[in-house]
Amino acid sequence: MEWDWNFVWEIMPTLIQGVKITILATLLGSVLAAIVGLAIALARRSPNKGLSRTVGFLAEFIRGTPLLVQLYFIFYVLPDIGILLPPLVAGVIGLGLHYGTYTAEVYRAGIDNVPRGQWEAAKACNLNARQTWTHIIMPQAIPPMIPALANYFIAMFKETPLLSAITVLELMNQAKSVANTYYRYVEPMTLVGAFFLVISLFSVVLLRWLERRYGRIEK
Amino acid sequence: MTQWSGYFGLILQGALVTIELTLMGSVLALIMAFLAGLGRLSRFFAVRALATAYIEFFRGTSIFVQLFWAYFVLPFIGISLTPLQAGVLALGLNVGAYGAEVVRGAIQSIGREQYEACIAVNLGRWQSMRHVILPQALLVMLPTFGNNAIELLKATAVVSLISLTDLTFQAQVVRSQTGNTMVPFTTILVIYFGLALIISWGVRSLERRMARGLDGVRV
């Protein structure tokens, strides 16, 4: 089977539409993952043992099971108990929750990395818990986390094709439907691969820049 | 009430396929990780370039796209794979690329003095690698390899989309036959989590075994 450039140009507009959804899902998923990760990290530091253990186990469970199955769960099981979500929303929630459990570890490392003296100084200055977090700990903890967080967002981007399994019309799904219509797999599938490769290579450059700008978390 | 016992049998069959895939994928990933990881440290530019290209390519495109490419595009250039072969190939090559970076990092983390000691006792390149560097580096690699194996286990869910009858596929079958979504999906989530726990437990005990006799040697 030969590579056909005319066919490539013909299917390009459809694929570009898919790309838009892929990027939208990644952005929304990243925002959600950043929030969920912070919530998990804070809950695990809570003095309330019940809360920190429960959240810890749930995060462990989500991290130990496949994203695809979680997406099915959100998409097929939740409607049974009355929560009907559009595919894209279900997909973003799945991505955000799954990667939130990973970003939680980044937050944990970042927070642990703030020297003890900073906590003690905050206490000595009579700051309350909220002030300590917002003015002392977070401003120092977040910059070194940025490269590590970005790394997970790139990983998430590479998982977005899974959303095609719950009928989100992202890049992979558009490519599959084009392939099934014309019964030509070589061009659509290769283009999807090339597209992911190009974006990932660019994001590696971006990541190196972020690492230079903000430094890495020392383990 | 639905007759559940038959359906659980179906899901157990799926579990066997998932385990089989995870094991075969891990073996391929391990081989690729060492080939590419050592390749990146080679003296020869061509070998280094080849290993880097392999690693960047497979880390840059998503596992999902690679799997579809292996299953749908390779037949057009004359290589027909069964779903199982395509699954093992894509999973092994993908996770192997991540593992290669682990191998490289671990070998580079071994101190300079070890290499100098090897030269001092007149060991060849291969001998020092085999008897001095690798035995120490393996211990550094193990925890991350464990995580990679769990990632591989989770990635096996994707093969259900190329009609391989693994856990996720069987859950979909049960869903379409019974109309019940909660039971099959919850069951397979628990099974995946159990498998992930077994892997992390196995890796931890292997780590303890290999660390025996190295106390006081490592800092």
For residue B3, is it within any domain?
A: no
Distance in angstroms (rounded) separating the CA atoms of residues A93 and A98: 8
For residue A100, is it within any domain?
A: yes
**Please, are residues B175 and B195 in contact by the beta-carbon 8 Å criterion?**
no
Segment B39-54, tens digit of pLDDT:
999 899 999 999 999 9
Segment B80-105, tens digit of pLDDT:
888 899 999 999 999 999 999 999 99
CATH number for the domain harbouring residue B145: 1.10.3720.10
pLDDT of A104: 94
Contacts of B60 in chain A (CB under 8 A): 196-197, 200-201, 204
The residue behind tokens 């286990």 is: B153
For residue B97, is it within any domain?
A: yes
For residue B78, is it within any domain?
A: yes
Taking residues A113-123, report their average pLDDT: 92
Query: Could you tell me the CA-to-CA distances from B211 to A103, B31, B70, B216, B218 in Å, in that order?
Result: 30, 22, 39, 10, 9
The residue behind tokens 């579809």 is: B68
The answer to whether the Cβ–Cβ distance between A185 and B76 falls below 8 Å is yes
Contacts of A159 (CB under 8 A, 6+ apart): A67, A95, A98, B62, B64
- Does position A140 have pLDDT exceeding 50, yes or no? yes
What is the pTM for the complete model shown? 0.86
For residue A67, is it within any domain?
A: yes
For residue B1, is it within any domain?
A: no
Q: Which two tokens stand for residue A106?
A: 């980044």
Taking residues A190-206, report their average pLDDT: 86
Segment A49-71, tens digit of pLDDT:
999 999 999 999 999 999 999 99
pLDDT of B197: 94
Q: What ipTM does this complex have? A: 0.84
For residue B204, is it within any domain?
A: yes
Label residue A219 by pLDDT band (50, 70, 90). Answer: very low
- Does position B19 have pLDDT exceeding 90, yes or no? yes
Question: Range of A129's domain?
Answer: 5-214
- Does position B75 have pLDDT exceeding 50, yes or no? yes
Looking at chain B, list the stretches that DSSP marks H as alpha helix, in order from N- to C-terminal side. 4-40, 45-60, 63-68, 83-109, 112-120, 125-128, 134-155, 167-178, 182-211
Distance in angstroms (rounded) separating the CA atoms of residues B139 and B160: 34
Contacts of B59 in chain A (CB under 8 A): 200
Label residue B34 by pLDDT band (50, 70, 90). Answer: very high
The answer to whether the Cβ–Cβ distance between A64 and B158 falls below 8 Å is no
Contacts of B162 (CB under 8 A, 6+ apart): B67, B68, B71, B83, B86, B87
Number of domains present in the structure of chain A: 1
**Please, are residues B52 and A168 in contact by the beta-carbon 8 Å criterion?**
no
Question: Range of B51's domain?
Answer: 13-211
Q: Which of A64, A192, A196 sits opposite B150 (nearest CB)?
A: A64
Segment B145-194, tens digit of pLDDT:
999 999 999 999 999 988 889 999 999 999 888 888 888 999 999 999 99
For residue B2, is it within any domain?
A: no
Segment B49-74, tens digit of pLDDT:
999 999 988 988 888 889 988 888 88
User: A13 exposed, middle or buried (CB, 10 Å; 0-12, 13-18, 19+)?
Assistant: exposed
Taking residues A148-163, report their average pLDDT: 90
Give the torsion sign (CA, B115, B121, B126, B130): negative
CATH number for the domain harbouring residue A29: 1.10.3720.10
B64 touches chain A (CB under 8 A): yes
Compute the mean pLDDT over every residue in chain A, rounded to the nearest whole number. 89
For residue B94, is it within any domain?
A: yes
For residue A219, is it within any domain?
A: no
Helix (H) or strand (E) holding A131: helix A129-131
Number of domains present in the structure of chain B: 1
For residue B201, is it within any domain?
A: yes
Distance in angstroms (rounded) separating the CA atoms of residues A162 and B62: 10
- Does position A38 have pLDDT exceeding 50, yes or no? yes
pLDDT of B218: 52
Taking residues A115-133, report their average pLDDT: 92
In this complex, how many residue pairs, one in chain A and one in chain B, have their CB atoms less than 8 Å apart?
103
